[in-house]
Structures are given as C-alpha cells and as structure tokens.
C-alpha cells in the first residue's frame, strides 16, 4: 500500500476511535435513574466538631443499613468530606462532592455558618440538601430541607412554657456571642416577652470564654436564668454559677444540643432540674423510640443523642424521597418528592411545610436522674409543631 494511503487510513481509524472513546466517556457521567445513588455528607471530621460528626454519620449509616443500602434497586453510597468546621473548606468540599463525586443529595455541616456557605454553592447546581439539625434563620430557598426548622424555632416553645407553667416573670439572659446562640436565644426571648415576660439583663460572653466569673458576678436579680452555650463551655457556667452562690433556676433554652456526658456532668455540677426545649431524647417513652435506642445501643455501644437521631432522620427522608420518585434522583424531581415526604421517625411523624421547614414533635426536657443516670427527661410534648 502506498505510504500516503497508509497514513490516511491510520488517521481515519484514530479519529473514529477517539470519537468512540469520547462518546463512551461522556456516557459514563452519572445517570439519575441508574447506577448508585450517592449521598454526600459534609461534616467537620477534623477539629472541634469531629466527635459529633461521627455520631451524625452513625445515624445515617444505621438507616441505610436498615434498607440494606439499596433504594428502588439502586445501591446507595455514602461519600463523606471534611469541612474542618471552616466555611471555605465546606464550600470546597461541596464542590468536590457535586462535580467530582456526582452526588445526588448533600447532608450539610454540623456548623450553621458552614452550611450557609455550602448552600450558597449548591444553589448554583440545584443540588438538594437535607439538614441533620437546625438551619440559620436566613437560610431559605427550595434546596434546603430542615426537619427541625431554624435555630430560632428550637426554643420558641420555652417562652410560653416558662411564663404559663413555671411562673417566671423575669429572666436574666446569658449566651455565647455568635449567630447560632443569638438564634436560639431570640426564639425564646420573642415568645417569652410576647407572653408578658421581662428580660432584665442580657450578657454575651465571647465564644471561647474560659472564666465566666466576671459575668456571673454581675447577674441581676430575676426569677430565672436563661442561657445557651456551646456544649464544651456549658459545664464551666454551671460550676461557677453554683460556686458563686446563685440559686435562680436555669433555663437552657435549646437543651437538645447536649449529649449524654454533657447532661451527666451538668447534673453532677448542680444542674439537676435545668429545663429546655429539644426535638429528641433517648428517654422519650414511645415504642418506636425504644426500638431505635435498642438498635443504636446494640450497634454503637450507647444510646443515641439528637445527633444520631438527626442523621437517621435525614437518611430516612432521602430514602422516602427517592422511593417516591421510583429511584429517579434528578434534582427537580427529587426536590418535588422531598417536599411531600412524611417519615415515621422514632419520635413521630416528620414532614415539611412548603418552605422546606419541618413539622415534627418538640419536647420540654429536664435534666433528671433516672435509675442513677442523668438524662434529658421529657416533661411536656408538643405534637406536630410547624417549625419556623
């Protein structure tokens, strides 16, 4: 064969092969109806939040194990990414999950400021996100599904309860000086003052305060003390509050953030009787919660907290959403299905109002000793609260 004909043939074959490979590679992009369903989980696996991240992930995996890691015949894969508690890293992690790992849905971060950064990115891709805890008040839009509402809604029931049931007409407030704590306290303050209660004082120690003595010494006389601190700082407050001879009862406006060892320590430090709002406790006495507690204790060696519960419920919402779409994880289709989800969680039905904020049971919880152990004991149940 003449040389120029040979070269031409080689060129043609190479071109055909290249086009063929390109078509194959393009076709290997994820399909929304076949292949594995990918759930992206962004949590602070390093840094201060790592302990809680593992708890949330355990909850997610517990639900996926229940469905044998399959939904509508499709395998489910959990793809995790570390935000390190940093908004920039969280957004980067979201980008990687969406663009490289091709996840279908994202479970955003433990920290609300990181979740906000993640949402900003996901809004550009239309990827839905299901929160495992509360959102910040200004997180909105079609993409975010917050079963427990915003930080503000986590304490709104405390206001009327404190006035009507406990008779505390005045409170002194103290909480960490950052957006999450402001949100928790605002929810309480708004409903408390609307019911005629009076806030005599507000003190906001900076995050990272290690000595609350200057603030505790300045607490003004009131019927009760309303507080919110991040869990590592709460024990110092309770200890020093008692050391300085303060006796007014303490309201921990959103108490669900505490895990068992926090509750035990607060109880030991004189915090027995501290009361607050929450959406979960292992002490909630329902058959479904007992079964959930038994399952998690067997699986992971201890009773679940609101963190495991949050992960479990988020995964349940996704399972039901994808089941409703018959396995189709196309964004708009899945989002429409998630809006109509109604899961039977260990504590009762959880569904969504039109704005992506959840409807669920909420509880007034008290630090109490049960069988020699301090737990968050429910003292009042509010059924199917429409969270704001």
Partner 1 sequence: MLLIDLLNGVSFGMILFLIASGLSLTFGVMGVLNLSHGLFYILGALLSLELVQRGVNFWVGGVAAAAFVGLLGLLIERGFLSRLHNRLNEQVLLSIGFVYIFSNLMAWIWGPSGRLGPAPAGLGGSVHIGMDSFPIYRLAILAIGGAVAAGLWLVTQRTRAGAIVRAGMDDRDITRALGVNYGLVCSAVFVLGSFVGGFAGFVGSPVMATNPGMGFELLLLSLIVIVVGGVGSVTGTLLGSLLIGCIDSFGRAYFPNLAYFTIYLAMIVVLLVKPTGLFGRARART
- Sites of contact with partner 1 (CB under 8 A): 47-48, 50-52, 203-206, 208, 210-211, 213-215, 217-218, 231-236, 239-240, 243-245, 259, 261-262, 265, 269
d(C-alpha 165, C-alpha 137), whole Å: 27
Q: How far is the CB of 52 from partner 1 (least distance, A)?
A: 8
- Strand, helix or coil at 128? coil
Q: How far is the CB of 38 from partner 1 (least distance, A)?
A: 29
- The residue (of 123 and 230) whose beta carbon lies closer to partner 1 is 230
- The residue (of 182 and 262) whose beta carbon lies closer to partner 1 is 262
d(C-alpha 64, C-alpha 102), whole Å: 19
d(C-alpha 110, C-alpha 108), whole Å: 7
Q: How far is the CB of 216 from partner 1 (least distance, A)?
A: 9
**Can you tell me which residue has the tokens 């708890």?**
55
CB atoms within 10 A of CB 54: 16
Helix, strand and coil content of the chain, in percent to the nearest 5, comes to 40, 25, 35
- The residue (of 26 and 210) whose beta carbon lies closer to partner 1 is 210
d(C-alpha 274, C-alpha 258), whole Å: 12
- The residue (of 93 and 259) whose beta carbon lies closer to partner 1 is 259
Q: Which residues contact 335 (CB under 8 A, 6 or more apart)?
A: 126, 128, 142, 143
Q: How far is the CB of 159 from partner 1 (least distance, A)?
A: 24
CA nearest to 316, candidates 132, 108, 119, 133: 132
Q: How far is the CB of 51 from partner 1 (least distance, A)?
A: 4
CA nearest to 269, candidates 247, 236, 245, 244: 236
- The residue (of 202 and 342) whose beta carbon lies closer to partner 1 is 202
- The residue (of 165 and 217) whose beta carbon lies closer to partner 1 is 217
CA geometry: angle at 377 spanning 375 and 381, to 5°? 150
- The residue (of 161 and 237) whose beta carbon lies closer to partner 1 is 237
Q: How far is the CB of 268 from partner 1 (least distance, A)?
A: 8
**Can you tell me which residue has the tokens 């067997």?**
298
Secondary structure tally for the chain: helices H, strands E:
12, 15
Q: How far is the CB of 278 from partner 1 (least distance, A)?
A: 17
d(C-alpha 29, C-alpha 22), whole Å: 11
- The residue (of 11 and 373) whose beta carbon lies closer to partner 1 is 373
Q: How far is the CB of 44 from partner 1 (least distance, A)?
A: 11
CA nearest to 316, candidates 292, 286, 298: 292
């Amino acid at each position: 064969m003449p040389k120029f004909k040979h070269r031409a043939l080689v060129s043609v074959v190479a071109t055909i092969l290249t086009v063929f490979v390109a078509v194959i590679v393009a076709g290997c992009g994820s399909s929304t109806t076949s292949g594995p369903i990918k759930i992206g989980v962004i949590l602070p696996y390093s840094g201060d939040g790592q302990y809680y991240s593992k708890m949330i992930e355990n909850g997610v995996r517990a639900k996926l194990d229940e469905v044998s890691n399959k939904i509508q015949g499709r395998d489910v894969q959990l793809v995790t990414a570390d935000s390190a508690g940093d908004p920039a890293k969280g957004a980067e992690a979201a980008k990687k999950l969406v663009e490289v790992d091709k996840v279908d849905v994202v479970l955003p971060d433990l920290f609300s400021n990181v979740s906000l950064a993640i949402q900003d990115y996901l809004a550009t891709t239309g990827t839905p996100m299901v929160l495992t805890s509360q959102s910040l008040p200004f997180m909105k839009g079609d993409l975010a599904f917050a079963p427990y509402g915003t930080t503000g809604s986590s304490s709104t029931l405390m206001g009327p309860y404190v006035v009507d049931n406990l008779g505390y007409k005045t409170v002194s407030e103290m909480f960490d000086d950052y957006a999450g704590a402001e949100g928790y306290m605002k929810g309480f303050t708004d409903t408390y003052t609307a019911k005629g209660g009076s806030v005599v004082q507000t003190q906001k120690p900076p995050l990272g305060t290690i000595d609350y003595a200057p603030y505790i010494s300045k607490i003004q006389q009131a019927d009760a003390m309303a507080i919110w601190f991040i869990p590592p700082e709460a024990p110092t407050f309770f200890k020093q509050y008692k050391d300085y001879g303060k006796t007014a009862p303490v309201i921990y406006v959103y108490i669900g953030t505490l895990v068992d060892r926090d509750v035990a320590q607060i109880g030991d430090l004189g915090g027995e009787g501290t009361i607050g709002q929450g959406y979960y406790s292992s002490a909630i006495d329902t058959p479904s919660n007992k079964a959930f507690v038994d399952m998690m204790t067997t699986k992971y060696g201890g009773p679940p907290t609101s963190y495991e519960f949050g992960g479990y419920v988020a995964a349940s919402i996704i399972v039901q959403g994808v089941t409703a779409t018959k396995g189709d994880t196309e964004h708009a289709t899945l989002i429409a299905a998630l809006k109509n989800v109604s899961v039977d969680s260990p504590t009762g039905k959880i569904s969504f109002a039109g704005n992506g904020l959840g409807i669920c049971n909420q509880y007034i919880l008290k630090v109490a000793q049960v069988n020699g152990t301090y737990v968050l004991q429910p003292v009042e149940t509010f059924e199917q609260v429409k969270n704001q």
